[in-house]
Structure 1
Amino acid sequence: MSKRVITPEDLLQLRSVTSPALSSNGEQLVYVETTLHNEKNAYAAELMKTSLTDPHSTVQLTQGEHVNRLPQWSPKEEILAFISNRTGTPQLFLLSGWGEPKQLTEEKKGVTDFKWSPDGTQIAYTSVQLPEDEKEDKEDKQLEPLVVNKMKYKSDASGFWQGEYTHVFTVDIQSHKHSQLTSGEMSYTLLDWMSDSQQVLVTSVNQKDTDFVFTNDLLILSVETKEQVQLTDQTHVISEASVSPDGAYIAMRAHERAYENATHFEIYLLELATTTWTKLTADWDVQLGPVVAADFLQNTVDPGLVWSQDSKSISLLVSSNGNVDVYQVSVDGTREALLTGEQHVYGFALHPDGQTLVAGISTSGHPGDLYLTKVKTNEVTRLTTSNDSVLDELEVVQAEEIRFTHEEGHELQGWLMKPSGFSEGESYPLIVEIHGGPHAMYANSYMHEFQTLTSRGFAVLYINPRGSLGYGQEFVNAVRGDYGGGDYRDIMAAVDYTLEQNPWIDETRLGVTGGSYGGFMTNWIVGHTNRFKAAVTQRSICNWTSFYGVSDIGYYFTEWQIQADLNETDKLWKHSPLAYVNQIETPLLILHGEKDYRCPIEQAEQLYIALKRREKTTTFIRFPEANHELSRSGKPSLRLRRLEAIGQWFDQYL
């Protein structure tokens, strides 16, 4: 059967298979299967259950096209807890006997996260709590002005801050009795339970004025007395912490901001009996955790630091050289690779035997499935086939790795995708894709945008330039203070190398695109060279001076990354693509979300007006109700429209 090329609409056919969760005995697996619906312009995520010994026994546990996510088994029984928006807001539900789910919470703003207690009698959860005068709905509520007294007053993810804080609660599984463990004008992040099931591990910022506070502290909360014990002293950025099953240790993933947000995380081990901290990964120059720039998978969950049953080791995801692997770090600091390869492991569950994994794995040519992996024998068995019927119809292009040494001495890694239906002797245009961040990593992972471009007859080149994670601390830090310098030279060197190695690419038909930092680089490139005949800039930055005050992260991100503030406007302007607008000759499509608070739409407006005033070739598309996550989790109809606009622009000018 002849296969057809991939279209943007295939997003509606393909399924994300994520969030594997194993029962306490390791026999049953539950996972999340997410689909997009264009008619309802929404996402649906259903819970699926299967047996590790009989994958053909798969059953769907939830119905109704709601978003059901974050499944977690009770440590003691075959009871499943999960978050669902079936009642309108995301609430906590229990499922046992595979009947109708029972609702555990009725929080006004919903539940954001939860953890089972080790003894299976309680669940701790977090919920955003409104100020007292906002908790009760008022009839005929008048529009009220927003009074702002802090710099961190808005968020791309949650909008304007209205005085709400995230607090920690517990609920008893039998009695359904709720207890609020935290209160006051500070937010808490739930991490884990202590092994006695009487205390909860959280992080918080114990300070009211947080405008210039970027660290947090590790705390233990007593469920009975609500007393707090502080374990750290505001010296680290803590992203994760986990308690060993025997209660002897707390493992923490954190860093000390040596390179601000470009700093690699480390694993620290606290021995509770001696209150001794040990850095387990001091000699390991990798990024701990997943940092892949991708556009397809939904409801992925970083499992964090996963303890073995014997409390002797921790398993975690590690990003390195375009791959995300699973490694194990023992309490004495030794390391072992559990699952590696040219692939993106986007989640895993560790079997009680400590030597078996269920892992979600994607590659450049496959959206992702769950696999059972035996560590000692390297035996791999595929457990899910959710996309097989669709993929059987599609011509999916595999990316080919490229590696070369830059003339400045460092090695660069990237990938080249040939056009669908590639034929020797034919000539093809090339599109260069640039990831955001800048501290992210392109990987051996499926990218739907890239596939839709190859289906239109374009080759696609994507690399990890200076500033990308996955290649050591020095490499990731090299972009700070040098935006448009070494990173620009890396990208152009990759273009030169690719053209030299692939004479079938038509060097007179080059395109470039990227989003966020990738949008900044797209703007910078077309302002510094006319080699590209078409460009698409997405959710971009063009003016660091205005970005400083309008982005939700502007004032500190600009100081960290450009290493200048409003007292150094000459430097901010020097690194602003808008300063070079007179040199832009490349036809430029500008895509931006109306509610993007990360790179606000005024950045796009400035660039568009500057180009139009100079009678340059440009078009501006504004996406309603869309924030910075448009390409990854925006409304399905807008995601399709975006992909179509990119493809049509390159069709027109290449």
Structure 2
Amino acid sequence: MHDKRALQTEDILQLNVVSDPQFTPDGQAFTYTLTTIHEQNEYESQLMYQNLKEKQTTPWTFHSSKNSKLRLSPDGKRAVFQSTRSGRPQLWLLHTDGGEAKQLTTFRYGAMDPMWSKDSQHIFFTAPLEHDDDIHNQTEPSKEEEKKEKEAKKKQPFMINRLKYKSDARGFHDDTRSQIIRLTIDNSSLLQITDGDADYRLQDISPDSTTLLYTANLNDHADYELNNDLYCFQMFTKETTKLTDGKGIYHNARFSPDGSKIACFGHEFAYKGASLTELYLFDIKTKEKSCLSSDWDIEIGDAMIGDTRLGESEIGPVWNEDSSKIFFIVTNQGATELHAASIYGKKEEIYKDNNHIFGFAYNKHCQCFILGISSPTNPGEFYLLHDNGSLEALTDHNCAFLKEIALQEPEELSIQTEDNWQVQGWVLRPYAFIEGKKYPTILEIHGGPHAMYGQAFFFEMQLLAAKGYVVLYTNPRGSHGYGQSFVNACRGDYGGGDYRDVMTAVDDAIEKFSFIDTERLGVTGGSYGGFMTNWIVGHTNRFKAAVTQRSISNWLSFYGVSDIGFFFTEWEHGVNLLDDPTKLWEFSPLKYAANIETPLLILHGELDYRCPIEQGEQLFITLKHLKKEVEFIRFPNANHELSRSGDPNMRMERLQHMLRWFDTYL
């Protein structure tokens, strides 16, 4: 008998998601963000504080809105944070010795990403501004005014004159650009630092508070490029220095504590979108750039895929107190790890334990870390990593959830492909597994394709296991975590080696696990995983049911309708639409629609601009016209992130439809 019950779809409402751990300046406590779903089916984020000695957690906000990005002033007396309580995200100020939060900004389009100067006198932030906006005359529209504005917009034609006019995150772009602004605390005065037809992203402020570090693309042909350069701006002289050469993409740039160097992530598109992220070092005096990671062959950052991570967390680079070391997360073999590098490029492991580190904070006072850790059987909590390598639990927000619900531990597979690649995979057994019984099995395929499945909590997979399915998931060629050659290996070969990898994994799993019912196999995946699902059912009748999510069916139209199509098509396939339409059609799943005999459920968000809904529509109409077994579910107001951060009701509906389809046909 099982002492815990099986997971249900509505249990997604119970999850508590932690993010953004930040040590207080004295190192005695830390703050973080806790995201939940409240009764009105909306996300709510509160700011939490925990004293490390007493282990007592205190909420610092109570308002049912999204509160995030809490940043304590270096003197520890005040805290600035971002909140949607007035409507748009705005900045609010708290005194750490108590009292009500005070609203600092009322910008028309909101104010975001606050950062303190090291002297605690100024807050720097970004705000979307139109070209002639006056920052001293900004008022946030009321909900009524915002509603009227939206209605008026619906009656106006939308004029487009640039290539990058929409994105999955923002929808159709307006005329605003992200500008950097300084707020002086004592007199509430505002100073606009940047101005121009570019999006500026503040990266850091120098230890002496005189120099800003920001990224932007200021090239003449910025609309046609994905480059992002790194700049230093001297506050007193107004002098701007460009640190990079317009040939790469740079982000997460940080000054060393002694002010002599800058560490940052980036790459120079050596393998287009499959390029490994590198760790760069800039010398402030000489302006010389060096790549510390050139011989590491490892992805820096967190490429793990999950469906329950909400809120951002630090992934690095973070400097140690004497400017000799840099800390950062790496993606490696189905897990993420905390590593350090000296300024000469010598790398060392700080923590690894075959799980998902989704963020960290470094305490310069005791050289210890707070790690955000998730695993297949833990949605994620914070732990103190002591200098002897031991972990101490700090939070337990999912305690009730884990006490009541059974979750399955994955069993690892190592799959040898016909051309001698090693592919890593995992199997989840079904809830209340009985030895000797045969079970229907579902193959899950991740998106990206340059991302990674691994030792992280994944609600969808656990739910399928809870409902009696074996779940098989793998990292075929093209996935991160296994070096540059592996992540690059699917480019120009979609539906080739990657298809053979996942099919070999199915064969291997069947050979290893006698409980897999070979007559009841299902397949599902989203984005690139949706492409691969469509490709699979057009090339084999081995699967008895398929669910394709936010998928790609036609690369010819994808080029022109996706927010990334105009570069992604060339990056991944080597050709654009006008170069060789025949080649693009060859590996479009739509070409093979007549071969599809597998009952197919198509799930798609109507506001998905990454893999637009017309990709699902074309496939549905073609299959329906051919009188195939197909159904199409459209999710209103849902973008590409539906399964991860979409409307909670819609997320549950999506899971229910998936279960219904597999239950019907398997």
Letter in 2 for 1:247: G
Q: Which residue of 1 aligns with 2:307?
A: 295
- Aligned-pair RMSD on alpha carbons? 1.6
Letter in 1 for 2:634: R
Secondary structure at 1:367's aligned position in 2?
A: strand
Paired residues of 1:114 and 1:190 also in contact (CA < 8 A): no
Secondary structure at 2:615's aligned position in 1?
A: helix
Secondary structure at 1:527's aligned position in 2?
A: helix
Q: Which residue of 1 aligns with 2:62?
A: 63
Deviation at 1:174, TM superposition (A): 2.2
Q: Which residue of 1 aligns with 2:127?
A: 127
Q: Which residue of 1 aligns with 2:114?
A: 114
Q: Which runs of 5+ in 2 are unaligned?
A: none
Q: Which residue of 1 aligns with 2:217?
A: 205
Letter in 1 for 2:17: S
Q: Which residue of 2 aligns with 1:445?
A: 456
Deviation at 1:24, TM superposition (A): 1.1
Paired residues of 1:47 and 1:62 also in contact (CA < 8 A): yes
Paired residues of 2:474 and 2:505 also in contact (CA < 8 A): yes
Q: Would you identify which runs of 4 or more consecutive aligned residues in structure 1 move more than 6 Å?
A: 133-140
CA distance in 1, matches of 2:111, 2:29: 25
Letter in 1 for 2:262: I
Q: Which residue of 2 aligns with 1:46?
A: 46
Secondary structure at 2:273's aligned position in 1?
A: helix
Q: Can you list the C-alpha shifts for 1:446-472, whole angstroms capped at 9, x where unaligned?
A: 000011101110010110001101100
Q: Which residue of 1 aligns with 2:72?
A: 73
Paired residues of 2:607 and 2:639 also in contact (CA < 8 A): yes
1:348 aligns with 2:349: no
CA distance in 1, matches of 2:172, 2:223: 15
Paired residues of 2:315 and 2:358 also in contact (CA < 8 A): no
Q: Can you list the C-alpha shifts for 1:590-612, whole angstroms capped at 9, x where unaligned?
A: 00001011111000000000010
* Cα distance, 1:131–1:277 mapped onto 2, change above 3 Å: closer
* Cα distance, 1:302–1:583 mapped onto 2, change above 3 Å: farther
1:536 aligns with 2:547: yes
Q: Which residue of 2 aligns with 1:164?
A: 176
* Cα distance, 1:146–1:226 mapped onto 2, change above 3 Å: farther
* Cα distance, 1:133–1:300 mapped onto 2, change above 3 Å: closer
Deviation at 1:354, TM superposition (A): 6.0
CA distance in 2, matches of 1:269, 1:191: 15
Paired residues of 1:236 and 1:257 also in contact (CA < 8 A): yes
Deviation at 1:114, TM superposition (A): 2.3
Q: Can you list the C-alpha shifts for 1:190-239, whole angstroms capped at 9, x where unaligned?
A: 10011220221001111243232121211112334544221222022112
Deviation at 1:311, TM superposition (A): 0.8
Greater alpha carbon shift after TM alignment, 105-114 vs 616-625: 105-114
CA distance in 2, matches of 1:354, 1:562: 49
Q: Can you list the C-alpha shifts for 1:526-555, whole angstroms capped at 9, x where unaligned?
A: 000011000000000000000010111111
Q: Which residue of 1 aligns with 2:12?
A: 11
The partner residue of 2:413 within 402, 406, 411 is 402
CA distance in 1, matches of 2:277, 2:202: 19
Secondary structure at 1:371's aligned position in 2?
A: strand
CA distance in 1, matches of 2:10, 2:352: 32
Q: Which residue of 2 aligns with 1:492?
A: 503
Q: Which runs of 5+ in 1 are unaligned?
A: none
Please give the residue correspondences for 1:437-476 in structure 2 after superposition, counting only pairs within 5 Å. 437-476=448-487
Greater alpha carbon shift after TM alignment, 161-170 vs 631-640: 161-170
1:229 aligns with 2:259: no
CA distance in 1, matches of 2:639, 2:590: 22
Letter in 2 for 1:445: A
Q: TM-score when scaled to structure 2?
A: 0.95
Secondary structure at 1:492's aligned position in 2?
A: helix
The partner residue of 1:321 within 330, 333, 336 is 333
* Cα distance, 1:107–1:303 mapped onto 2, change above 3 Å: farther
The partner residue of 1:478 within 479, 489, 495 is 489
Please give the residue correspondences for 1:12-27 in structure 2 after superposition, counting only pairs within 5 Å. 12-27=13-28
Letter in 2 for 1:351: N
Paired residues of 1:193 and 1:200 also in contact (CA < 8 A): yes
Paired residues of 2:441 and 2:471 also in contact (CA < 8 A): yes
Secondary structure at 2:314's aligned position in 1?
A: coil
The partner residue of 2:646 within 629, 634, 637 is 634
CA distance in 2, matches of 1:499, 1:81: 55
Please give the residue correspondences for 1:641-652 in structure 2 after superposition, counting only pairs within 5 Å. 641-652=653-664
Secondary structure at 2:575's aligned position in 1?
A: coil
Matched length: 651
Q: Which residue of 2 aligns with 1:304?
A: 316
Letter in 1 for 2:470: A
Deviation at 1:166, TM superposition (A): 0.5
Q: Which residue of 2 aligns with 1:178?
A: 190
Q: TM-score when scaled to structure 1?
A: 0.97
CA distance in 2, matches of 1:44, 1:612: 41
* Cα distance, 1:187–1:300 mapped onto 2, change above 3 Å: closer
Secondary structure at 1:620's aligned position in 2?
A: strand
Q: Which residue of 2 aligns with 1:514?
A: 525
